[in-house]
Chain A
């Protein structure tokens, strides 16, 4: 069964191709069958592969399937090869399964859209690229998946291309992630020139042999890879594209945030963990970026009023947790949080999509309210996802995964009390902002009437994801043990200072405090918020946080303006004048020739006669 591995990326890719070529001629039903069915089959095969992987573990607890050699130039021969181990298997299971649920949901969500088949073509390609990224056995194939994921995000964010704002958001996402990608490519060049291979396992092995801990090459390579991961995973300082990426259709946001794209950076760092272990400075940078991002994004999420933007900042913040875990060496905890996050974040976005659809495209949480009785399914599932995100103790999956990270942030070898504190404050912010949304949207008086109710194809994925958002937490022990096959175990160095139970108790208390404050500010005494914002300091902070800590403004001043200025100065350089010269020449000859076309028949006849005389003369006298 495990040899069917190659079908997993091929199926969605094939259906994307079919939908691109013949999609406009298919009926919507046919499109949905092809688009959703291919992902469903992929998910099914993934389950088969997982079962055979677990029941009969291959030697070395990894399985490689080489399809063919891609390029063969002077010792550089990257293969189209798939590499499956515990790490990629866990990612693969989550990606295909969550993507399948999101596809079912979008079959109904997008039904009225004229680009129905185009949407599914892009979504399938998105999933196919993500699977390529996960399974690639060399860094070049991984880069191929990485870039195609970026391309698909561009296509999907700008899906409704008639609105120029969406195109702008799409370009922003593409260019900002491209900054990170350039760093990553430099990292690949460095690895290849120094180690002579791009096969991930060989790179790791040779790096461990040739480079001692903390050597310059290791640090630089790890930092460059971190640059790529930061761009793709929307971490500080390249997080600006993700909130704007909300311009795309809601299922796209769910896919982008839960299963594909933003988790690619986490995967890259986990995949190259040997390299990061060799470079303590780079690993510290990972943890630091994660901790800073989770705090900044948490504060920004508090001030947003678009429900999808709150969720976007929440994703940035949660990925920050994963980076924090990777940075302190708690690899398993990061992957575990990725799994639970995929469930509840997909659920939150799909729930938000249901609400936005029901309220006739209303995005502002201040114009929502009282939906608890109107839409019970959406309410309960959203509540479960919110609790899971905020970490409701002992029941939800998010509690197990996030509190593990927070605890490891101190107790692990590279841990630090400062990281633990950041994680705790982040947890407080998380429960504040998500319950702010829940209280605003579902409680209080009904402000916008409900116009549309979701059908079963939209509610069933919600219910399945809600179930997983709770049960996912009980997978903790088996999942962590399974991941030990691929990732080094976390070294507990400071566990005596703070036991896991104590940390979890504090986290539980923090959760309750957050819920209580959200209850006070956003349900019981809403006027308090106005008092806070009326205060000059409060208003300043609100505006600052609302504008994502001024990052957009800063980048506009620091990069975009100087670039535009430079291009304006450079507008008429030598190369340009050459090409405009050609255009001028063509225009000149066009004017000359067109002036001979007078429309006077006698002139034409005279010209013909003169021409014949000339040619006759040439023939006779030469």
Chain B
């Protein structure tokens, strides 16, 4: 699932999908924690997952605000088109 997220991050051009694939990767990490927690009978895995959820929520709030701003400014969400570097 982590690899799936990573691949879609690399392949997708739309910023929204990029953010979504980031979420997928985070959830993959979270799932790994939960599975590891149940395997070794530790509550820590679930605690860390709660942290990841909270962080993901905060990240999405900031990320979506940025996406909104970028869309207003450039009228596009294509990451390749948004590149302003001409080196």
Q: Do A and B interact? A: yes
B79 touches which of A595, A601, A606 (Cβ 8 Å): A601
Count residues on chain B whose CB falls below 8 Å from chain A CBs: 13
Taking A601-B79, A602-B79 as contacts, is the C-beta distance between A609 and B84 under 8 angstroms?
no
Q: Do residues A597 and B85 form an inter-chain contact, with CB atoms below 8 A?
A: yes
Q: How far is the CA of A597 from the CA of B85 in the complex (A)?
A: 8
10 nearest CB pairs, A to B? A599-B85, A599-B83, A601-B79, A606-B10, A600-B83, A602-B10, A605-B9, A609-B6, A597-B87, A594-B87
Q: Do residues A605 and B85 form an inter-chain contact, with CB atoms below 8 A?
A: no
Q: What 1/0 flags go to A314-337 for Cβ under 8 Å of B?
A: 000000000000000000000000
A598 within 8 A of B: yes
**Which residues of chain B have C-beta atoms less than 8 A from A599's C-beta?**
83-87
Instruction: Name 20 A/B residue pairs within 8 A (Cβ), A-sorted.
Output: A594-B87, A595-B87, A597-B87, A598-B83, A598-B85, A599-B83, A599-B86, A599-B87, A600-B79, A600-B80, A600-B83, A601-B18, A601-B79, A601-B83, A602-B9, A602-B10, A602-B80, A605-B10, A606-B10, A609-B6
Q: How far is the CA of A595 from the CA of B86 in the complex (A)?
A: 10
In the complex formed, the residue of B with least CB distance to A603 is: B10
Q: How far is the CA of A597 from the CA of B86 in the complex (A)?
A: 9
List residues of chain A with CB under 8 Å of any chain B CB. 594-595, 597-602, 605-606, 609
Q: A602-B13, A605-B10, A606-B10 are in contact. List 6 more A-B contacts (CB 8 A).
A: A595-B87, A598-B87, A600-B79, A601-B82, A602-B10, A609-B6
**Which residues of chain A have C-beta atoms less than 8 A from B10's C-beta?**
602, 605-606, 609
In the complex formed, the residue of B with least CB distance to A602 is: B10
Q: How far is the CA of A609 from the CA of B6 in the complex (A)?
A: 8
**Which residues of chain A have C-beta atoms less than 8 A from B18's C-beta?**
601
What's the least CB distance linking B78 to chain A, in Å?
Answer: 11
In residues 55-87 of chain B, which contact A (Cβ within 8 Å)?
Answer: 79-80, 82-87
Q: What 1/0 flags go to B11-31 for Cβ under 8 Å of A?
A: 001000010000000000000
**Which residues of chain B have C-beta atoms less than 8 A from A601's C-beta?**
18, 79, 82-83
**Which residues of chain A have C-beta atoms less than 8 A from B86's C-beta?**
599
What's the least CB distance linking B65 to chain A, in Å?
Answer: 18
**Which residues of chain B have C-beta atoms less than 8 A from A605's C-beta?**
9-10
In the complex formed, the residue of B with least CB distance to A596 is: B87
What's the least CB distance linking A471 to chain B, in Å?
Answer: 79
Interface of A is mostly: helix
**Which residues of chain A have C-beta atoms less than 8 A from B6's C-beta?**
609
**Which residues of chain B have C-beta atoms less than 8 A from A594's C-beta?**
87
Q: How far is the CA of A508 from the CA of B9 in the complex (A)?
A: 105
What's the least CB distance linking A512 to chain B, in Å?
Answer: 84
Q: How far is the CA of A601 from the CA of B79 in the complex (A)?
A: 7
**Which residues of chain A have C-beta atoms less than 8 A from B85's C-beta?**
597-599
What's the least CB distance linking A537 to chain B, in Å?
Answer: 72
In the complex formed, the residue of A with least CB distance to B6 is: A609
In the complex formed, the residue of B with least CB distance to A609 is: B6
What's the least CB distance linking A617 to chain B, in Å?
Answer: 15
Q: How far is the CA of A609 from the CA of B86 in the complex (A)?
A: 24
Q: How far is the CA of A599 from the CA of B85 in the complex (A)?
A: 5
What's the least CB distance linking B43 to chain A, in Å?
Answer: 27
Q: How far is the CA of A594 from the CA of B87 in the complex (A)?
A: 8
Q: How far is the CA of A609 from the CA of B80 in the complex (A)?
A: 18
What's the least CB distance linking A170 to chain B, in Å?
Answer: 44
What's the least CB distance linking A596 to chain B, in Å?
Answer: 9
Q: How far is the CA of A599 from the CA of B86 in the complex (A)?
A: 8
What's the least CB distance linking A453 to chain B, in Å?
Answer: 64
Q: How far is the CA of A597 from the CA of B84 in the complex (A)?
A: 11
What's the least CB distance linking A403 to chain B, in Å?
Answer: 81
Q: How far is the CA of A594 from the CA of B86 in the complex (A)?
A: 11
Q: How far is the CA of A236 from the CA of B1 in the complex (A)?
A: 92
Q: How far is the CA of A602 from the CA of B80 in the complex (A)?
A: 8
In the complex formed, the residue of B with least CB distance to A606 is: B10
**Which of B18, B82, B86, B87 has its CB near the most chain A CB atoms (within 10 A)?**
B87
Q: How far is the CA of A597 from the CA of B79 in the complex (A)?
A: 15
Q: How far is the CA of A599 from the CA of B9 in the complex (A)?
A: 16
**Which residues of chain A have C-beta atoms less than 8 A from B80's C-beta?**
600, 602
What's the least CB distance linking B1 to chain A, in Å?
Answer: 15
What's the least CB distance linking B74 to chain A, in Å?
Answer: 14
**Which residues of chain B have C-beta atoms less than 8 A from A606's C-beta?**
10
**Which residues of chain A have C-beta atoms less than 8 A from B87's C-beta?**
594-595, 597-599
What's the least CB distance linking A449 to chain B, in Å?
Answer: 63
**Which residues of chain B have C-beta atoms less than 8 A from A600's C-beta?**
79-80, 83
What's the least CB distance linking B6 to chain A, in Å?
Answer: 6
Q: How far is the CA of A601 from the CA of B82 in the complex (A)?
A: 9
Q: How far is the CA of A606 from the CA of B82 in the complex (A)?
A: 18
What's the least CB distance linking B81 to chain A, in Å?
Answer: 10
What's the least CB distance linking A490 to chain B, in Å?
Answer: 82
**Which residues of chain A have C-beta atoms less than 8 A from B82's C-beta?**
601
In the complex formed, the residue of A with least CB distance to B11 is: A602
Q: How far is the CA of A578 from the CA of B40 in the complex (A)?
A: 62
Q: How far is the CA of A606 from the CA of B9 in the complex (A)?
A: 9
Q: How far is the CA of A597 from the CA of B87 in the complex (A)?
A: 8
**Which residues of chain B have C-beta atoms less than 8 A from A598's C-beta?**
83, 85, 87
What's the least CB distance linking B41 to chain A, in Å?
Answer: 26
In residues 34-50 of chain B, which contact A (Cβ within 8 Å)?
Answer: none
Q: How far is the CA of A62 from the CA of B39 in the complex (A)?
A: 100
Q: How far is the CA of A601 from the CA of B67 in the complex (A)?
A: 14
Q: How far is the CA of A594 from the CA of B79 in the complex (A)?
A: 20
In the complex formed, the residue of B with least CB distance to A599 is: B85
**Which residues of chain A have C-beta atoms less than 8 A from B79's C-beta?**
600-602
Q: How far is the CA of A601 from the CA of B83 in the complex (A)?
A: 8
In the complex formed, the residue of A with least CB distance to B12 is: A602
In the complex formed, the residue of B with least CB distance to A601 is: B79
Q: How far is the CA of A159 from the CA of B51 in the complex (A)?
A: 69
